[in-house]
Amino acid sequence: MRNTSSIERTVTLRVDAQDPSGAGVVHTFGKKILVTGLIAGERAALHIKNPQDTYPEAEIKKIVEASPHRVEPRCPVFGRCGGCSLQMLAYPEQLALKRRVVKSALQKTLEDRSVLVRPTLGMTDPWGYRNKVQYPVGRDGKFPVIGFYAPVSYRIVTNRGCPIQHPEADLLKAALLAHMKKHRISPYDEREGEGLVRTLMTRKGFATGEVILILVLNGGGMPAMEEFVESARAAVPALTGVVINQNTKKSRVILSRENRVVWGTALLTDKLLDHTFELSPNSFYQVNHSQAEVLYRTALDLAAIGPGDTVFDLYSGAGTLTIPAAKRAKMAWGIELSAEATADAERNAKRNNVENVQFIAGDVVKEVTRLIDKKKISPDVIILDPPRAGCDKPLLLMLAGARPKRIVYVSCDPQTLGRDLGILELHGYRVAEVQPVDLFPHTGHIEAVALLEPAPKRRS
């Protein structure tokens, strides 16, 4: 048998395509390999590590023929950090790529026709946009380190001044690192499940300037906590709260449900679409403030809610889309599995003086069934904003059976969006248009809003 490990592992290849994740796709040794930092059409010299592996790694040695869309990444650890994958691609081309990703996903399930996919709505300044940062804490030899995970790894890549994060995150990271070193506080070991400090999480209200620090610990407290709070407040005067999230499970799930305020408040206040919202540490909130407004405004415009309409907003979170929808409607219902997020939503409705809205905490399928079958409430407009996995088929069938005038589907995953739109089209609806919105510049992620309307009845 031939020993593949003896094959020359430095090869020059043409990049065949761009993966939806943003990585370049090359084929060699009979395998498809994804390489972060390459652009479709380029030629590059690559060092292939362990080509006999099922998923070999490739290191870029030299760009032999560069794409005209190549730019210099701003981040000094680009390619080593597992965060961004597209900083080497000019931003206009990123937007074009993301539109192609959405169109390709829809063509897999809507093969019989072409769907209108509009040009991606991007940012004027696509930097410093993330309002939430989750820094894993680990160890490099004897010393604690804080940064981001390398791709497919527990190894932490340290950095300064991440160009897509809010700047206060770095200041709080430095304060925690100094405190851990001074008091010899152990970082958490993902493999062993031992150590104290797991994650430093920060959230910022871009409209209010408020900052919340959430310290995820493998225990109930940290040594010299009062001293750390003082150093954190000195580093970031806009800090309004420090929270301990106790997570003792050996899992990569970052937050548990156990939050304890050690100073200030656990609630972050921010404004979105002229409404004020309070958010608990575990409540979902779009990470890009300005583009969240673009996304929600797009969804509301496509929904075309009238003053006599009843609206269902499913997976409603803290009510950030339900409450603006209610302002246009006769009545709005928000359904969300998380009781904590639902409590936030109820508080937010009162804060914004919106009375024609009701929030329900529970399983979406069960609660929609109860509203439609038992309470005989017929939705005129349905808004869906599910997690990445999309919607369960029974829910989609139930929604199609309710025959609303419009269904607006907000998606963070083009593949599950295409799957779910295909199901709705098989059951009496037709996709009128899809609008991609870029909430995650320099990464492979893309949001999209789809409008569905009842399909015309076929003539017999």
Name the burial class of residue 137, with classes exposed (0-12), middle (13-18) and buried (19+) by CB atoms within 10 angstroms of its CB: buried
**Domain ranges in the chain with CATH number 2.40.50.140:** 4-70
Could you give the residue numbers annotated as active site?
412
pLDDT band for position 1 (50/70/90)? very low
Residue 449: pLDDT above 70? yes
Task: Render pLDDT for 304-348 as a digit per residue (tens, 0 to 9).
Answer: 999 999 999 999 999 999 999 999 999 999 999 999 999 999 999
What are the start and end residues of each CATH 3.40.50.150 domain in the chain?
Answer: 95-124+274-454
Within the chain, all domains assigned CATH 2.40.50.1070 are found at 132-269
Torsion of CA 145, 146, 152, 155, to 10 degrees: 0
pLDDT in tens, 397-448: 999 999 999 999 999 999 999 999 999 999 999 999 999 999 999 999 999 9
What distances in angstroms separate CA 193 from CA 75, 187, 329, one per listed residue?
31, 10, 50
Tokens of 289: 């403030």
Q: Which CATH class is domain 132-269?
A: mainly beta
What are the tens digits of pLDDT across the range 53-72? 888 888 899 999 999 999 99
Tell me the pLDDT tens digit for each residue of 121-175.
Answer: 999 999 999 999 999 999 988 889 999 988 777 789 998 889 999 999 999 999 9
Residue 384 contacts by C-beta under 8 Å, 6 or more apart in sequence? 314, 315, 391, 399, 407, 408, 409, 410
CATH, range 4-70: 2.40.50.140
Q: Looking at residue 83, what is its pLDDT?
A: 84
Provide the b/e sequence for 330-351 (b: ≥16 CB within 10 Å).
ebbbbbbebebbbbbbbbbbee
* Mean pLDDT for the chain overall: 93
Contacts of 177 (CB under 8 A, 6+ apart): 144, 145, 146
Top-tier CATH class for 95-124+274-454? alpha beta
pLDDT at 186 over 90: yes
Q: What is the pLDDT of residue 57?
A: 83
More confident call, 79 vs 132 = 132
Closest CA to 28 of 80, 50, 65, 85: 50
Q: Hey, CA dihedral for 9, 12, 14, 19, is it positive or negative? A: positive
Would you call 92 exposed, middle or buried from its count of C-beta atoms within 10 A (0-12, 13-18, 19+)? exposed
pTM of the model: 0.93
Going by DSSP bridges, is the β-strand pair 197-204/211-217 parallel, antiparallel, or unpaired? antiparallel
**Per-residue pLDDT tens digits for 87-117:** 999 999 999 999 999 999 999 888 767 899 9
pLDDT above 70 (res 380): yes
pLDDT at 2: 43
